[in-house]
Amino acid sequence: MARANNDILQGTLALLVLKTLQQGPMHGWGITLHIQRISNEVLRVEEGSLYPALHRMEQEGWVSAEWGSSENNRRARYYRLTAAGRRQLAAEEMQWRRLTDAVASVLAFEVSRA
């Protein structure tokens, strides 16, 4: 079960991260917690995938990062959505909806036949 989740997660990691950052600037740990909590522990982000993904998004210019201090006064790197990131988020969201609508239609068809 966990593995299946991870497969889906990898494809959509960028989308989830971008959406999370829409709420406001966040560090990596925060992003992990957020996704875990909102999805009710169903989606668990692997640390090993998160930071490379964040790095890539930074290279692509979808997020910008800067150092700040966290809640408990530790130094942490905060990521924030850029304008390009917002556009990317919108695009990926639309993509995702189209995909899920399509899958849903196929599944619904099966059920009605039965």
Partner 1 sequence: MGWMRRVQASWRRGRLSKELDEELRFHLAMREEMNIRNGMSADESRLDAQRRFGNATLLKERAREIDMLTFLETVLQDARFAVRMLIKHPGFTAVAVAGLAIGIGVNTAVFTTYKAVMLQPLDAKDPQQLVSIYRTNLHDPSAAGFSYPDYETYRDHNQVFSGLIAAAANELALTGVDDLPTAGTTGGGVASAFGFRFPSKVAGGAEFVRVEIVSENYFSVLGVNAIRGRVFRSRDVHDLQAHPAVLISENYWQRRFRADPNLLGKTLNLNSAAFTLIGITPHDFMGTNENVPDLWLPIRLNNLVNHGSGFFHDREEICCRLYGRLAQAVTIGAAQAEMNILADQTRSLHLPHSDGSKPVTISLFPGSPFGVAQDSDQRIIMWGFRLILLAVGLVLLISCANVAGLQLARSAARQREIGVRLSLGASRLRLIRQLFTESSLLGVLAGAFALVITWWVLRMLVVQISAALPMEWGSLALHVEPDIHVFAYVFAISLLAGVLFGLAPALESSRPNLSSAIKEEGAKFGFRLGSTRLRDVLVGIQACVCLFLLVVAGLLIRGSMRLLASSPGYEIKHVVGLDVNFPESVGHSPEKEEAELRQLRDSVRRLPGVTSVTAGGPTGGLRIANITLDDTKAVSEVPAPTLYYSFVAPNYFETLSIPITLGQGFARTLPPAEVILSESAANRFWPGKNPIGRKMMLDVKGQYHGRNELIPHNAPYEVVGIAKDTRPVLPWVDSSSAYLPLPLDRWSGQPFLVRTRIGPKELIGDIGRQLISVAPNLVVYAETLEDLLTATPSFVLSRLSAIFATIVGMLGLALASVGIYGSVSYAVVRRTREMGIRMALGAKRHEVLSLILRESTRPVLAGLMAGFLVAAGASHLLRGLLFGLSTLDPVSFLGVSALFLLIALFAAYIPAKRATRVDPMVALRYE
Chain residues binding partner 1 by CB under 8 A are: 27-29, 32, 46-48, 51-52, 55-56, 58-61, 67, 70, 74-77
Closest to partner 1 by CB, 3 or 74: 74
Q: How far is the CB of 52 from partner 1 (least distance, A)?
A: 5
Distance CA 67, CA 75 (A): 7
Q: Which is nearer to partner 1, 58 or 93 (CB)?
A: 58
Please report how many Cα atoms fall inside a 13 Å half-sphere around the Cα of residue 14, on the Cβ side: 22
CB of 1: closest distance to partner 1 in angstroms? 18
Q: Residue 15 or 65: which CB sits closer to partner 1?
A: 65
> By C-beta, is 55 or 80 nearer to partner 1?
55
* Least CB distance to partner 1 at residue 74 (A): 6
Say if CB 16 and CB 81 are below 8 A apart: no
Q: What is the smallest separation between the CB atom of 86 and partner 1, expressed in angstroms?
A: 17
Give Cβ neighbours of residue 61 (< 8 Å, ≥ 6 apart): 82, 84, 85
Sign of CA dihedral 14, 19, 24, 29: negative
Q: Return d(Cα 106, Cα 110) in angstroms, integer.
A: 7
